[in-house]
Structure 1
Amino acid sequence: MLSWMAWTMPSALFFIGIASLLLVMTILEIRKPCVERKGWLPISTTRGDRLFIGLLSSAFLHLLFLGLTDVTLWVAFGISVVIMAALLRWG
Protein backbone atom coordinates (compact mmCIF):
# COMPACT_ATOMS: atom_id res chain seq x y z
CA MET A 1 0.00 0.00 0.00
CA LEU A 2 2.78 2.47 0.84
CA SER A 3 5.34 1.05 -1.57
CA TRP A 4 5.60 4.40 -3.37
CA MET A 5 7.25 5.90 -0.27
CA ALA A 6 10.78 5.15 0.83
CA TRP A 7 10.12 4.57 4.53
CA THR A 8 13.15 4.25 6.71
CA MET A 9 13.24 3.70 10.44
CA PRO A 10 14.28 7.32 11.21
CA SER A 11 11.49 8.78 9.06
CA ALA A 12 8.92 6.41 10.57
CA LEU A 13 10.08 7.30 14.10
CA PHE A 14 9.87 11.00 13.23
CA PHE A 15 6.24 10.76 12.12
CA ILE A 16 5.33 8.50 15.04
CA GLY A 17 6.87 11.09 17.36
CA ILE A 18 4.90 13.96 15.81
CA ALA A 19 1.67 11.93 15.94
CA SER A 20 2.37 11.07 19.59
CA LEU A 21 2.97 14.73 20.43
CA LEU A 22 -0.33 15.69 18.81
CA LEU A 23 -2.16 12.91 20.64
CA VAL A 24 -0.72 13.97 24.01
CA MET A 25 -1.55 17.62 23.33
CA THR A 26 -5.13 16.68 22.40
CA ILE A 27 -5.58 14.63 25.59
CA LEU A 28 -4.11 17.46 27.68
CA GLU A 29 -6.44 19.98 26.06
CA ILE A 30 -9.48 17.81 26.74
CA ARG A 31 -8.53 17.06 30.36
CA LYS A 32 -7.12 20.46 31.27
CA PRO A 33 -7.94 23.28 28.84
CA CYS A 34 -5.15 25.81 28.67
CA VAL A 35 -5.31 29.57 28.76
CA GLU A 36 -3.01 32.01 27.06
CA ARG A 37 -0.05 33.04 29.17
CA LYS A 38 2.95 35.29 28.80
CA GLY A 39 6.32 33.65 29.28
CA TRP A 40 9.69 34.78 27.96
CA LEU A 41 8.39 34.77 24.38
CA PRO A 42 7.32 38.26 23.28
CA ILE A 43 3.71 37.11 22.72
CA SER A 44 0.98 35.44 24.75
CA THR A 45 0.84 31.76 23.78
CA THR A 46 -1.08 28.56 24.42
CA ARG A 47 0.42 25.07 24.68
CA GLY A 48 -0.30 24.47 21.00
CA ASP A 49 1.37 27.74 19.99
CA ARG A 50 4.49 26.84 21.95
CA LEU A 51 4.55 23.34 20.41
CA PHE A 52 4.30 24.81 16.91
CA ILE A 53 7.05 27.36 17.61
CA GLY A 54 9.22 24.59 19.05
CA LEU A 55 8.71 22.34 16.02
CA LEU A 56 9.59 25.19 13.65
CA SER A 57 12.67 26.04 15.71
CA SER A 58 13.77 22.40 15.63
CA ALA A 59 13.30 22.19 11.87
CA PHE A 60 15.35 25.34 11.24
CA LEU A 61 18.07 24.18 13.64
CA HIS A 62 18.35 20.86 11.81
CA LEU A 63 18.54 22.66 8.46
CA LEU A 64 21.30 24.90 9.81
CA PHE A 65 23.24 21.87 11.01
CA LEU A 66 22.80 20.16 7.63
CA GLY A 67 23.87 23.21 5.66
CA LEU A 68 26.65 24.66 7.79
CA THR A 69 28.35 21.82 9.65
CA ASP A 70 29.52 18.26 9.24
CA VAL A 71 28.41 17.40 12.76
CA THR A 72 26.01 14.50 13.21
CA LEU A 73 22.35 15.41 13.43
CA TRP A 74 22.13 13.76 16.85
CA VAL A 75 23.71 16.94 18.23
CA ALA A 76 20.99 19.04 16.60
CA PHE A 77 18.40 16.61 17.94
CA GLY A 78 19.72 16.97 21.48
CA ILE A 79 19.71 20.75 21.26
CA SER A 80 16.19 20.65 19.78
CA VAL A 81 14.90 18.54 22.67
CA VAL A 82 16.29 21.07 25.17
CA ILE A 83 14.83 24.01 23.22
CA MET A 84 11.45 22.28 22.90
CA ALA A 85 11.34 21.49 26.63
CA ALA A 86 12.24 25.10 27.52
CA LEU A 87 9.65 26.51 25.12
CA LEU A 88 6.89 24.27 26.40
CA ARG A 89 7.72 24.93 30.04
CA TRP A 90 8.67 28.61 30.19
CA GLY A 91 7.93 30.05 26.72
Structure 2
Amino acid sequence: MAWMAWTWPTAIFFTVIAALLITFTVLAIKFPETPRVGILRIETTRGDRLFISLLGSAFINLAWLQLVGVNQAFALIVCLIYAAAVFRWV
Protein backbone atom coordinates (compact mmCIF):
# COMPACT_ATOMS: atom_id res chain seq x y z
CA MET A 1 0.00 0.00 0.00
CA ALA A 2 2.90 2.33 -0.68
CA TRP A 3 0.87 4.03 -3.42
CA MET A 4 -1.35 5.65 -0.80
CA ALA A 5 -0.23 8.43 1.47
CA TRP A 6 -1.08 6.77 4.79
CA THR A 7 -0.41 9.17 7.61
CA TRP A 8 -1.46 8.90 11.24
CA PRO A 9 -4.38 11.34 10.82
CA THR A 10 -5.63 9.32 7.84
CA ALA A 11 -5.37 6.06 9.76
CA ILE A 12 -7.14 7.56 12.76
CA PHE A 13 -9.92 8.91 10.52
CA PHE A 14 -10.63 5.52 8.95
CA THR A 15 -10.33 3.75 12.29
CA VAL A 16 -12.92 6.08 13.84
CA ILE A 17 -15.29 5.57 10.91
CA ALA A 18 -14.90 1.77 11.19
CA ALA A 19 -15.47 1.92 14.96
CA LEU A 20 -18.62 4.00 14.44
CA LEU A 21 -19.99 1.51 11.92
CA ILE A 22 -19.25 -1.43 14.21
CA THR A 23 -20.77 0.35 17.21
CA PHE A 24 -23.94 1.25 15.34
CA THR A 25 -24.25 -2.31 14.01
CA VAL A 26 -24.01 -3.71 17.53
CA LEU A 27 -26.52 -1.14 18.78
CA ALA A 28 -28.94 -2.06 15.98
CA ILE A 29 -28.69 -5.75 16.90
CA LYS A 30 -28.95 -5.30 20.68
CA PHE A 31 -31.45 -2.43 20.72
CA PRO A 32 -33.63 -2.45 17.59
CA GLU A 33 -35.42 0.80 17.03
CA THR A 34 -38.34 2.09 15.10
CA PRO A 35 -37.77 5.03 12.77
CA ARG A 36 -38.73 8.43 14.12
CA VAL A 37 -39.84 11.61 12.40
CA GLY A 38 -37.83 14.71 13.25
CA ILE A 39 -37.50 18.26 12.04
CA LEU A 40 -36.94 17.16 8.42
CA ARG A 41 -40.29 15.32 8.47
CA ILE A 42 -38.73 12.10 7.20
CA GLU A 43 -38.37 8.81 9.04
CA THR A 44 -34.79 8.31 10.21
CA THR A 45 -32.97 5.67 12.20
CA ARG A 46 -29.67 5.93 14.07
CA GLY A 47 -27.81 4.88 10.93
CA ASP A 48 -29.55 7.54 8.85
CA ARG A 49 -28.66 10.22 11.38
CA LEU A 50 -25.05 9.00 11.45
CA PHE A 51 -24.88 9.27 7.66
CA ILE A 52 -26.43 12.76 7.68
CA SER A 53 -24.01 13.93 10.37
CA LEU A 54 -20.96 12.48 8.56
CA LEU A 55 -22.00 14.00 5.25
CA GLY A 56 -22.71 17.37 6.83
CA SER A 57 -19.40 17.25 8.69
CA ALA A 58 -17.56 16.71 5.42
CA PHE A 59 -19.17 19.83 3.98
CA ILE A 60 -18.46 21.80 7.16
CA ASN A 61 -14.78 20.85 6.94
CA LEU A 62 -14.59 21.77 3.26
CA ALA A 63 -16.22 25.13 3.92
CA TRP A 64 -13.89 25.68 6.88
CA LEU A 65 -10.85 25.05 4.70
CA GLN A 66 -12.15 27.48 2.09
CA LEU A 67 -13.18 30.27 4.45
CA VAL A 68 -10.80 29.99 7.39
CA GLY A 69 -7.91 27.86 6.22
CA VAL A 70 -6.05 25.49 8.48
CA ASN A 71 -6.66 24.91 12.20
CA GLN A 72 -9.26 22.21 11.70
CA ALA A 73 -9.58 21.66 15.45
CA PHE A 74 -12.23 24.36 15.62
CA ALA A 75 -14.03 22.80 12.67
CA LEU A 76 -14.13 19.55 14.65
CA ILE A 77 -15.93 21.36 17.47
CA VAL A 78 -18.46 22.73 14.97
CA CYS A 79 -18.91 19.23 13.54
CA LEU A 80 -19.52 17.72 16.98
CA ILE A 81 -22.17 20.36 17.73
CA TYR A 82 -23.74 19.68 14.33
CA ALA A 83 -23.75 15.91 14.95
CA ALA A 84 -25.34 16.38 18.37
CA ALA A 85 -28.06 18.53 16.81
CA VAL A 86 -28.68 15.96 14.07
CA PHE A 87 -29.02 13.12 16.56
CA ARG A 88 -31.29 15.21 18.77
CA TRP A 89 -33.66 16.82 16.26
CA VAL A 90 -33.48 15.00 12.92
TM-score (norm 1): 0.90
Alpha-carbon separation, structure 2, partners of 1:89 and 1:29: 18
Partner of 1:34: 33
Structure with bigger strand share is: 2
Structure 2: runs of 5 or more not aligned: none
CA RMSD of aligned residues (A): 1.3
CA shift for structure 1 position 39: 2.0
**Partner-residue secondary structure (3-state), 2:48:** helix
Greater mean deviation of Cα atoms: 18-27 or 76-85: 76-85
CA shift for structure 1 position 71: 5.0
- Alignment of 1:81 with 2:80, yes or no, is yes
Structure 1's consecutive aligned runs of 4 or more residues displaced over 6 angstroms after TM superposition are: none
Partner of 1:68: 67
- Alignment of 1:45 with 2:54, yes or no, is no
**Partner-residue secondary structure (3-state), 1:6:** coil
Structure 1: runs of 5 or more not aligned: none
CA shift for structure 1 position 53: 0.4
Give aligned-pair identity as a percent. 49
Alpha-carbon separation, structure 2, partners of 1:41 and 1:18: 25
